Chain A
């Protein structure tokens, strides 16, 4: 509501994409070939599906155009990365030993300009059954069966082919049913003019990084896809002083914590990895290795962590903050 001017300049086309070659067949041709092949080969029963697709293409018109554009590689370009995260709780002490707020959260806030009070990766302190506590850094769980995507009326929150769930704040109507649906409390709403640094408003909006935040829309951890595609790791992983967070790809089956690279599935099974609220059938892409920071010498009865801070809060003009 309040940042309409900025919004007008935003474009739906993501920046920074580089054409990817897919071999000798030109993509337009490939699509045509595929389309014809599908039409010729499908048995009669499947023709309804094809019709469905054709009608959809007609209605969507512009999307069909986009598909033909070179910027969007088709499946034939290769195998799609399937991002995952493995969080080793045995190495997480909520940054008690550092004497700082959890560095993953802090780095995420600085890197994403996450408005106060959003902690896209939030370090919860949970009680252990025998007393004492463990710290659970909780990013968006990037469910494979995402309850939030299922309920979104406008497709503003959407799954990517990489298995992550993103939010298109240019489309979000702010109905907040996704927040009601998320069983992990990982969605955040801009209740007022979001407190972000003035520089962030210069940013060209993209669902990949969600900056700048806009009032009346939902935000959450995005798994830093624009960073991960190449070059660098998500902020939380780069910042973790204990290398407790692993970022991986289930397609190639590897994971890295910024120090080393391992086989992702092996890491999970060797360490009894589990997922949060598995019984809900959401199939999260975030795995946890059990523990309470014992690998770095944390006593489970040593409770409490430093509160999270938002460094630019004085510079966010005209913005309001709120509590969760």
Chain B
């Protein structure tokens, strides 16, 4: 279902190329156990459909009906693990063809893993496929149907037309006043009382212009993915690029410069988002462990903060300075 939205590039042509470059390595030295050999391209680009062939043999005899999987080292939001991106079954020549689409910016160390049917452990085959960086966006989506000429411009034309007529009418009223000017009689005390209709037509023109401006300023569509540089309200996350998690951030940095480490620490504890996981008073919450009574030495505290145990994000020195960390420590100690 998702693939429906994915723009496939010119991947088929390249995949044929990849299929040709198979390296057949059979090592007869290993008598027992299943041997895996792999043929794969050296370099691929993002979005390319890559064909990886694995050859399985046992004592030089091709293994038929074995299941293998291709994995790569992936990491997301602090979690890192091997992700199975393709599987295959060997045919009578012992060759399993695995096709995957290159989605990651870097594959790291890839492995061809033997899945079965034998229960005996098989050494995975390690291979490296380099990825040309900065490929095109693969997952794109678009809402709605675009009909040529049925768009905002048409609406602007209609509204402008209506306002032109309203303005025209107002102009006639101004001219009524203009025509009556000067031919003053006793009962018409003064001239120039057409200012009201002038005002009306001015308002009409200004409102009309205002509406057109609203139109022009409106974002083109529901999504900014095609035009991310138009977008400026929050940072954008890119594949393979990250930045340090700094929590909510306080609106006034200077409030953590009082000189009292405990008071500063209570502010910083909040600033770096500690409170969000470890509870507002440091006594623990659903996500984070309690800190106050179990804080221990500064060394351990510092190490945990820098390395982020159990899925906690890492706070390096660039994010929380040693000085600030000590203040937070002082605050938590004091709370305990």
A305: Cβ under 8 A from any B Cβ = no
Contact indicator A160/B234 (Cβ below 8 Å): yes
Instruction: Tell me the minimal C-beta distance from B226 to chain A in angstroms.
Output: 8
A288: Cβ under 8 A from any B Cβ = no
- Complex Cα spacing A147 to B308, Å: 39
Contact indicator A249/B239 (Cβ below 8 Å): yes
Please provide the chain B residues from 234 to 278 with a CB less than 8 Å away from any CB of chain A in the complex: 234-252, 255, 267, 270, 275-277
A91: Cβ under 8 A from any B Cβ = no
- Complex Cα spacing A56 to B221, Å: 14
A32: Cβ under 8 A from any B Cβ = no
Contact indicator B237/A262 (Cβ below 8 Å): no
Instruction: Tell me the minimal C-beta distance from A262 to chain B in angstroms.
Output: 6
- Complex Cα spacing A82 to B46, Å: 16
Given the known inter-chain contacts A249-B239, A254-B74, please indicate yes or no for A265 contacting B252, CB distance below 8 A. no
Instruction: Tell me the minimal C-beta distance from B100 to chain A in angstroms.
Output: 9
Contact indicator B231/A209 (Cβ below 8 Å): no
B43: Cβ under 8 A from any A Cβ = no
Question: Chain A residues with Cβ under 8 A from B64's Cβ?
Answer: none
| Selected contact of B267 from candidates A202, A229, A265, CB within 8 Å | A202
Contact indicator B103/A251 (Cβ below 8 Å): yes
Instruction: Tell me the minimal C-beta distance from B141 to chain A in angstroms.
Output: 5
B223: Cβ under 8 A from any A Cβ = yes
Q: Among A59, A160, A168, A249, find the residue whose CB has the most chain B CB atoms closer than 10 A.
A: A160
B286: Cβ under 8 A from any A Cβ = yes
A: contact size bracket? 35 or more
Contact indicator A79/B286 (Cβ below 8 Å): no
Given the known inter-chain contacts A249-B239, A251-B137, A263-B83, please indicate yes or no for A230 contacting B46, CB distance below 8 A. no
Contact indicator B143/A111 (Cβ below 8 Å): no
A9: Cβ under 8 A from any B Cβ = yes
Question: Chain B residues with Cβ under 8 A from A227's Cβ?
Answer: 77, 245, 313
Contact indicator A261/B238 (Cβ below 8 Å): no
Contact indicator A252/B232 (Cβ below 8 Å): no
B105: Cβ under 8 A from any A Cβ = yes
- Complex Cα spacing A206 to B233, Å: 9
A103: Cβ under 8 A from any B Cβ = yes
- Complex Cα spacing A32 to B157, Å: 31
Contact indicator B137/A75 (Cβ below 8 Å): yes
Contact indicator B236/A162 (Cβ below 8 Å): yes
Given the known inter-chain contacts A16-B243, A111-B276, A231-B308, please indicate yes or no for A79 contacting B249, CB distance below 8 A. no
Q: Mark A280-293, 1 if CB is under 8 A from B, else 0.
A: 00010000000000
Question: Chain A residues with Cβ under 8 A from B85's Cβ?
Answer: 263
B280: Cβ under 8 A from any A Cβ = yes
- Complex Cα spacing A211 to B275, Å: 13
| Selected contact of A14 from candidates B213, B234, B255, CB within 8 Å | B234
Contact indicator B313/A248 (Cβ below 8 Å): no
Contact indicator B286/A106 (Cβ below 8 Å): yes
- Complex Cα spacing A230 to B134, Å: 19
Please provide the chain A residues from 135 to 193 with a CB less than 8 Å away from any CB of chain B in the complex: 144-146, 149-150, 155, 158-163, 166, 168
Instruction: Tell me the minimal C-beta distance from A276 to chain B in angstroms.
Output: 14
Please provide the chain B residues from 97 to 128 with a CB less than 8 Å away from any CB of chain A in the complex: 101, 103-105
| Selected contact of B244 from candidates A55, A168, A231, CB within 8 Å | A231
Residue of B nearest to A76 (CB): B134
| Selected contact of A199 from candidates B135, B223, B232, B270, CB within 8 Å | B270
Given A72-B229, A230-B77, 19 new contacts (CB under 8 A): A14-B234, A15-B246, A16-B245, A63-B232, A67-B232, A72-B236, A73-B228, A75-B227, A144-B143, A161-B231, A163-B141, A228-B237, A230-B313, A238-B277, A249-B76, A252-B103, A252-B105, A252-B239, A265-B3
Sample of 22 A–B contacts (CB below 8 Å): A15-B249, A18-B244, A48-B153, A73-B238, A78-B238, A81-B238, A110-B277, A111-B276, A155-B219, A160-B233, A168-B233, A206-B234, A231-B244, A231-B308, A231-B314, A232-B245, A233-B77, A249-B239, A261-B75, A261-B76, A263-B84, A265-B2
